[in-house]
Structure 1
Amino acid sequence: MLSRGDLTDAEWAVLELLLPVSNNRCGRWREHRQVINRIIHRLGTGVQWRELPERFGPWKTVHERHLLWSADGTWEMLLQHVQAAADAGGDLDWNVNVDSTSVRAHQHAAGAPKNPPPTSPSSSKGAPQISSPARTPRPAAPAGGGGAPGETLGRSRGGLTTKIHVAAEGRCRPLSLLIAPGQRADCTQFEPVMDKIRVPRTGLGRPRHTPDSVSADKAYSNRKIRTYLRKRGIRHVIPEKKDHKAARLRRGSRGGRPPGFGKDRYKDRNTVERAIGKLNQFRAVATRYDKRAYIYLGTVTAAALLIWLRS
């Protein structure tokens, strides 16, 4: 009998064939569906791993599986597979919108150990692959400026914070995700979050990484970002800041032409706000409890996977 929030049979059918069937350390994997359902419970409640209800079985099994899949890119691979299936069926809107949200880090998220991320067992090759980047251990993120080194914890007046940078497609679903220290400016993460857009083809062909158009707010209004989008041939709608406009007008004809701006296209920017709202429905995302950056990114990616499966 399914509990609230558990994977349905249709959702499990999408994921089942992509997961490894065994490993060398302990023979057979514990039932993946049971473990994912336990991870979903933790995503929705934000409960400590040790406090998972006894009916879910050993908490350490669930915890270690989440750590491993966060480190070796399994969550990202599953997300890309679901995105690829949606794109093949014409259910992916390539009018992309970019924004970020600041997440308060719980005090227990500080003081991360310096242990390296776990590595995937060699026998996980039993899982079929799609045309996506190889699943390799995720390296530590850059230093967070105020928090534990390399764990994307930033200092602010409210305490430790982390920013989730999101590129969302036109149907309010996350297309790519990135985390950074909370005090870091949005514009510095625009190119990295755009470069992470990578939707594999279900057949032959390279993964698609170029959207039809991009919209963002004034936080992303600078010459570097506009040049980056023009070089890639991407139409964009980003409002011009008042000081930029004043400086351009002061220069007269040398200031160049004003950037194009489509009001109707900019109205669709609410899709990324709604995608962020969906992510924040998961308490383990809305408040960061994970000490390690790669684990928290895996938590956010698992939440995005559920949004795609249930959209």
Structure 2
Amino acid sequence: MGRGDLSDEEWVLLEPHLPKNVGRGGRWKNHRTVINGIFFRLRTGIPWRDLPERFGSWKTVHDRHRRWSADGTWGKILRSVQTKADAAGRIDWSMAGVDSTVCRAHQHAAGALRHAPRVPGSCTWPSWHRTDEALGRSRGGLTTKIHLVSEGGLRPLAVLITPGQWGDAPHMIPVLELITVPRPGGGHPRTRPDHLAADRAYSSRRNRRYLRRRQIGHTIAEPENQRANRRRRGRAGGRPTGFDPARYVRRNEVERTINKLKANRAVATRFDKRAFVFHGTVTAAAIRLWLSG
């Protein structure tokens, strides 16, 4: 077993959730070798063509990652791993955090063709395909932003990618609505934490109304200009927002989760041209955190 490869314990957790052999030829027979190659590239950020020979053909590793990113397989594996963790009581639903991080896009990430990729073996497009390829231009160049919700155990519950210059507050609701952890015994999946912590970038009436409607307790810092505007309006400004400093301390958990994700060089710097492939890269990094946690 090479450095960074799946351990036997991690493989036992992951193997039941992988796609089974389909069609002729047994093309999925070397799952573990190929996934180790995907994780090696994820950790090191090297070009696909430079993968060590012990992982087999670089094209096989690249094509499987691209296919699983396009047809949603990585997302299904993530939900399956989360479901097993939830059944074992290893998800801390008492507190979740929402935050975002900007990733610099490598020059090789630009220049994708102006048409949506077709899912292999299907006549439809990936539902998460972005026509803007989640690339935004800033003073520093091309960037991509990762929005995520993490649970108290420092593992992502949901991820969303957008262009780097897009704001945080408008994407709190979309990323929260991506939380879906099925229950093994049936019934509705778990879709909300008990409490949410976020910094002042997420403070807005729309976000607070949404959280109250879903009965999610929240501790969100309020910017000074919003407090001053409420005071200026007097009684029409409404009541002050509640804020619990003791709960807010736990907001560092989502920041530590981001640090763990960006320890993977292919996440810290975006090398993938397609947004759906980079989304698959971030999802694969999240899966690795769930396996090692």
TM-score > 0.5, shorter chain as reference = yes
| Other structure's SS at 2:17 match | coil
State the 1:27 CA deviation.
4.1
Secondary structure of 1:17's partner?
helix
Q: For 1:295-306, list aligned pairs within 5 A.
A: 295-306=277-288
Question: Contact 1:92–1:171 (CA<8 Å) still a contact in 2?
Answer: yes
Stretch of structure 1 that moved more, 286-295 or 21-30: 21-30
Aligned: 1:270 with 2:269: no
1:181 maps onto 2:163 in alignment: yes
What is the CA deviation profile of residues 261-289 of structure 1, one whole-angstrom value per residue up to 9, with x for unaligned ones?
A: 01000000000000000001000000000
- Distance in 1 (alpha carbons) for counterparts of 2:116 and 2:23: 20
Name the SS of the counterpart of 1:225 in structure 2: helix
In the other structure, the counterpart of 1:15 is 14
Q: Which has the higher mean CA deviation after the structures are superposed, 298-307 or 247-256?
A: 247-256
Residue in 2 that maps onto 1:33: 32
1:82 to partner: Cα distance: 1.4
Superposition deviation, residue 203 in structure 1: 1.5
Supply the AA of the counterpart residue of 2:33. Answer: Q
Whether 1:162 aligns to 2:144 is yes
Aligned to 2:186: 204
Aligned to 1:104: 104
Give the corresponding residue for 1:130. Answer: none
Partner of 1:258: 240
Quick one: which amino acid aligns to residue 259 of structure 1? T
Note the alpha carbon deviations across 1:49-91, whole angstroms, 9 max, x for none.
Answer: 1111122211110011000111111111111111111111111
Greater mean alpha carbon deviation, residues 263-272 or residues 245-254: 245-254
* Structure 1 letter corresponding to 2:100: S
Question: Do the aligned partners of residues 79 and 186 (structure 1) sit closer, same or farther apart at CA in structure 2, a change above 3 Å counting?
Answer: same
Distance apart, 1:23 and its partner CA = 3.1
Q: Give the Cα separation in 1 of the matches to 2:20 and 2:237.
A: 61
Structure 2 CA distance for partners of 1:81 and 1:137, relative to 1, 3 Å: farther
Letter of the 2:103 counterpart: V
Structure 1 pair 140–256 and aligned structure 2 pair: CA distance change class (3 A) = closer
Deviation at 1:120, TM superposition (A): 5.1
| Aligned counterpart for 1:238 among listed residues 212, 220, 224 | 220
Task: Confirm or deny: 8 A CA contact 2:14 2:291 kept in the other structure.
Answer: no
Amino acid at match of 2:149: A
Change in 2 beyond 3 A, CA 1:92/1:27: closer
Instruction: State the distance in 2 between where 1:115 and 1:36 align.
Output: 28
TM-score (norm 2): 0.95
* TM-score (ref. length: structure 1): 0.90
Counterpart check, 1:308 vs 2:290: yes
Alignment of 1:139 onto 2:127: yes
Separation in 2 of the partners of 1:227 and 1:80?
28
Deviation of the 1:118 alpha carbon: 4.7
Q: 3-state SS of the aligned residue for 1:219?
A: helix
Indicate conservation of the 8 Å contact 1:168/1:272, yes or no: yes
Contact 1:186–1:219 (Cα < 8 Å) also in 2: yes
> Matches of residues 214-233 of structure 1 in structure 2 within 5 Å?
214-233=196-215
- Given that 2:119 and 2:126 are in contact with CA atoms closer than 8 Å, whether structure 1 keeps it comes out as no
Counterpart code for 2:275: A
One-letter amino acid of the counterpart of residue 268, structure 2: A
Q: How far off its partner does 1:44 sit? A: 0.8
Q: 1:137 to 1:83 in 2, by over 3 A?
A: farther
- What percentage of aligned pairs have identical amino acids? 56
Moved more, 17-26 or 200-209: 17-26
1:192 matched residue in structure 2: 174
Alignment-mate amino acid for residue 38 of structure 1 = G
How far does residue 115 in structure 1 lie from its aligned partner after superposition?
5.2
2:105 and 2:92 map into 1 onto residues whose CA distance is: 32
